[in-house]
Chains A and B, each alone.
Chain A
Amino acid sequence: MIGLNTDITKKARETGLFEPHRQDNTKLTLPIDWTDDVFLPFNYSHTAFIYNTKKVTNPPTSFDALVNSNSDLSLVIQDPRSSISGLALVLWVKAVYGDKAEKVWEKLAPKILTVTKGWSESYGLFSAGEADMVLSYTTSPAYHILAEGDLTKKAAIFPEGHYLMVELAAKVAKTDVPNLANAFMAFILTERFQNLIPEGNWSLPSALPKNKWPEGFQELSMPENVLFYSEEDAANLRKEAIEEWRRALSQ
């Protein structure tokens, strides 16, 4: 099973469908400590607002600056009820602002051009020039740099921190081919697999030191401060955070 995300692993774990991955978590190079013995990370990235340097000459330098800016910046984001990255955004705001999250959403509301079902629609709108900034990942500019030679897309880095998105694999307990499954879990942490991640998934490899990343990825602006909720906290906060978002944006 591949492609789960930390914000929904609690439900997945409770199904009892998965068994331990038996891999060495110390090989991981994530910006946080990883101790989960069931779900094994294979890539990661951080949520970030991406902008076009040709259109936005004076990007916000912090989350506060974005929230309080008077300029007519327009944002396009994803719906936390239908999109993983949208959910990461409401958790990001919650992690930065805590109880003030709803107030922050009320201030952001007039800047939000629209909300889309998934990431593809948002990024499509941004690429078509509809909005100034799009909620995406810190690794998004890498695609434009490496595949298109386009250096104008940048992630706005905020000192308040960025929310971490980790993608995970797990072994199905009742598999017919346990040996193959084990071999695959081991393969995930090999350099061969990890080398495929950056330009395959346009994301950061989970077990590869930075100096082995492809060029273009090494130069990306990365946040110094990383925010992350455990699956327990994420599950507890999710309903409240989404409801605050919905109330603030429905007015």
Chain B
Amino acid sequence: MAPRSLSIITGTLLCSFVIVPLLAVWRHADASASLGPAEWAALRFTILQAFLSALLSCFLALPVARALSRTQFPGRRLVIKLMGAPFILPVIVAILGLLAVFGQNGWLNAALRSLEMGSFSIYGLHGVLLAHVFFNLPLATRLILLGWATIPQERFRLAQHLALTPSARFRLIEWPMLRVVLPSAFAVIFVICLSSFAVALTLGGGPKSTTLELAIYQAFRFELDFAKVALLGLIQLGLSLSAAILALRMAHEDQLGIGFDRPIDCEARSVIQKFHDTLAIFLALMFLGIPLLLVLANGLSNLSSLPVAVWMAALRSVLIALGATVLCLLLALCLLSRSGEVLATLGIAVSPLLLGTGLFLIARPFLNPFDISLIVTLCVNALMSLPFAVRILRPEMIKIVSNFSRLSLSLGFSYRSWVRWVVWPRLRRPLGFAAGLTAALSVGDLGVIALFGDAERATLPFKLYQLMGSYRTEQAAGCASLLLILSFSFFWIFDFWGRRNA
């Protein structure tokens, strides 16, 4: 969409926003660093849990996405929107929600006890995976669902016309699409899980579940060992970029053919298929919905008793989210190429902690870093959502270019009318989704504000942690509900805008 020069400029800017803070940290290092046995163990565990989390999330998302793509039922859109919710929750809220179901006193154990079937402990590698799937299954589902939407409806009709068996249909129509979509969905989730910290530790049940991010935090907060911070950050960056590049190499971009932009309508399914689809949607809804509802219900009654400071923090969070969304979409539109997708991965490849530390060190000689803490948060939030935005927008853009560029060229469309009549109406839907995701993610992110935050510049998630830290459990629950409502409204409004008339 964007001229080539703009892509190059954006790419360079992005690189420098990530690399310069890394160098700044490196420059403050006073000695060389090496990895001890603890760090090696952390590295191994980090890769293991990220790999398994990504694999499981994608694997489980497949039936759900497939079911959602070919089932029409009232509330289908709402279900798809709900799919964004867990992803945008602050970690501690999501954990408490999950524990309400899977914890020692949770519903699951209550049921097991009443059936005298022993008990289930969530703490361990399986707990970490459970939480990561909870966070990432919706994302994987949405990404795969978007892939399904890029298959021209005519193909399915043709398949029905030719009476293809389900397996032949899968091989000929769906597999080529999945081969493009799955590797990048896997890579995005793998990279997200690489920097997991609180989830891995809390549900992992002890220091054997240590991730690299914790080692970075330790080196920064307690040891002030900048050499180690930089080294660990580089390892994390290397892992993320390798995953992104590998995914792109695996994804063969097949030509799926041109269609008439017809929406997918309900297709004939066998009874067994219908049963499978309903079951997949039902299970996914229960798994994702119950913990969220418990969080919401827990806090709703406390909503009215929240102090003014919380509402101020909420306002700040909303403004940051809007700013981050605009910035993120502008960047994403300039990076809709193969190399752009790798570059966008940088956004989540570097630990936000490291990024924050570096920016802090850069800003310190010139101004009080605390004065720009909200701007820094905005930028980091935009950066963090960039890989998702690019992943959401790019398949649609590829389709538009391959399907309509020749036609537009032959009609002599100017750049403006090409954007106005061809790109805009088709890109609007993914744009709405990307905007909703960015805004919601930004509202829920604790991120770098934790490094610089103070009472006057607190965002809503920061306030939530402050309340929990001073025993205000009930107000914290109210705060969590507010956060959930805000995130969800953002998601809903943008998504609605994208789908209107689309």
Contact = CB atoms under 8 A, between A and B. Distances in A.
A57 to B, nearest CB: 18
A130 interface: yes
B370 interface: no
Given A81-B215, A123-B471, 16 more contacts: A81-B207, A81-B222, A112-B205, A114-B202, A115-B202, A115-B207, A117-B202, A117-B214, A121-B95, A124-B96, A128-B100, A128-B103, A128-B105, A130-B99, A130-B105, A250-B207
Contact of B104 (A112, A123, A129, A144): A129
Nearest to A243: B38
Given A124-B96, A202-B470, A202-B471, A116 B202 contact: yes
A113 B201 CA distance: 11
Interface string B162-180: 0000000000000000000
Contact of B206 (A123, A128, A144, A250): A250
Interface residues of A, number: 38
A79 interface: yes
Contacts of B38: 243, 246
A88 B471 CA distance: 20
A32 interface: no
B99 A117 contact: no
Nearest to A251: B208
Interface in A141-181: 143-144, 147
A140 B471 CA distance: 9
Nearest to B104: A130
B198 interface: yes
B99 A113 contact: no
Given A114-B123, A121-B202, A123-B468, A82 B218 contact: yes
B92 interface: yes
A120 B105 contact: no
Interface of B: 38, 41, 92, 95-96, 99-100, 103-105, 123, 197-198, 201-208, 210, 214-215, 217-218, 221-222, 224, 465, 468-471, 473
A8 B222 contact: yes
A116 B198 contact: yes
A238 B221 CA distance: 14
Nearest to B203: A114
B220 to A, nearest CB: 10
Given A81-B217, A121-B202, A123-B471, A113 B41 contact: no
Contact of A11 (B123, B217, B224): B224
Contacts of A246: 38, 207, 210
Contacts of A112: 205-206
A81 B215 CA distance: 8
21 contacts: A8-B222, A11-B224, A82-B214, A114-B201, A116-B202, A117-B214, A117-B217, A119-B469, A120-B468, A123-B468, A123-B471, A128-B100, A129-B103, A130-B99, A130-B104, A131-B104, A245-B207, A246-B210, A249-B208, A250-B206, A250-B207
A244 B222 CA distance: 17
A144 B96 CA distance: 20
A125 interface: yes
A127 interface: yes
Contacts of A245: 207
Contacts of A87: 222
Given A82-B214, A120-B465, A129-B104, A115 B205 contact: yes
B13 to A, nearest CB: 33
B203 to A, nearest CB: 7
Nearest to A132: B104
Interface string A229-241: 0000000001000
Contacts of B215: 81
Closest 9 CB pairs of A and B: A81-B218, A120-B468, A129-B105, A250-B208, A143-B471, A114-B205, A117-B198, A249-B206, A120-B469
A250 B42 CA distance: 11
A124 B468 contact: yes
A81 B41 contact: no
Contacts of A249: 206-208
A130 B41 CA distance: 28
A121 B92 contact: yes
A251 B208 CA distance: 8
A218 B447 CA distance: 39
A215 B20 CA distance: 54
Nearest to A119: B469
Nearest to B105: A129
B315 to A, nearest CB: 23
B205 to A, nearest CB: 5
A241 to B, nearest CB: 12
Contacts of A243: 38
Interface string A6-20: 001001000000000
Contacts of A125: 99, 202
Contact of A121 (B198, B204, B224): B198
A116 B105 contact: no
Nearest to B467: A120
Given A120-B92, A121-B95, A125-B99, A115 B104 contact: no
B35 to A, nearest CB: 14
Contacts of A238: 222
A82 B223 CA distance: 11
